[in-house]
Structure 1
């Protein structure tokens, strides 16, 4: 690279935040990933959601391969203004979320059914046993 690369501010990068013009900041470097949106294995929404901020944490959390990291050079457009690069000392703590319940059944109904169904089966077994005893006698 003979020419010196441009240094971009967060304001400049955040102006490139849609499907037709998408830039990301990863490890203090700015990447124009517009041409890569359709080919991204995680989908274009993942990349679009990381625009307008430092996407280093999002990128690192996924655990990209060395080949994915090597591909980044193709999309490099310049450096990010170091004054805006956040320190990596803050640790991200995800918000507490309820356990996943795919059918959205309230927890108390599930617990009630877990108690009542075995009782119904046991009661039915006694009724069938009593009926068969009375019919054979």
Structure 2
């Protein structure tokens, strides 16, 4: 039978001497792991005292890291005491193209014509200088 804890109980364990995390409805005492955590102890201490599930998942922990959680298991969260809001992925907003299609057409036309004019002038000058000599 597992130990059922409240968020108030979990939030009391929020220092580098006593650090508990709530991940996926389960509570873990990661105090002994703080020194060994690849991201540093501050990351874990900052995530303590609240639901750290999204933080844990966003990092993309390996299956080995997930398996390590078992040795730190303390109990489960009292699900009636917490309401989690699941983060939904929102795609990044696209910049709106404020140019109308006619000005876009003019720009493309100029991008094509200006190099041709420069090339024509260069070739014309070359022939003009040869015929003048």
When normalised by structure 1's length, the TM-score is 0.62
**What is the number of residues matched between the two proteins?**
89
SS in 1 for 2:20: strand
**Higher helix proportion (structure 1 or 2):** 2
Residue 79 in structure 1 maps to residue 76 in structure 2:
yes
- 1:45 and 1:92 mapped to 2: Cα distance? 26
- 1:30 and 1:85 mapped to 2: Cα distance? 15
> Kindly tell me: are residues 85 and 75 of structure 1, through their superposed partners in 2, closer, same or farther at Cα, counting changes over 3 Å?
farther
User: For the Cα contact (< 8 Å) 1:24–1:33, is it kept in 2?
Assistant: yes
SS in 2 for 1:54: coil
> Kindly tell me: are residues 37 and 24 of structure 1, through their superposed partners in 2, closer, same or farther at Cα, counting changes over 3 Å?
same
Match of 2:63 among 59, 62, 66: 66
* Match in the other structure for 1:106: none
* Match in the other structure for 1:12: 9
When normalised by structure 2's length, the TM-score is 0.64
When Rg is computed on C-alpha atoms for both structures, the one with the higher figure is 2
Shift of 1:87: 3.9
Q: After TM superposition, what 4+ stretches of structure 1 lie above 3 angstroms from structure 2?
A: none
Shift of 1:73: 0.0
CA RMSD of aligned residues (A): 1.4
Residue 39 in structure 1 maps to residue 31 in structure 2:
no
In structure 2, stretches of 5+ residues that fail to align are 91-133
- 2:85 and 2:3 mapped to 1: Cα distance? 22
In structure 1, stretches of 5+ residues that fail to align are 94-137
> Kindly tell me: are residues 92 and 37 of structure 1, through their superposed partners in 2, closer, same or farther at Cα, counting changes over 3 Å?
farther
User: For the Cα contact (< 8 Å) 1:54–1:85, is it kept in 2?
Assistant: no
Shift of 1:92: 6.5
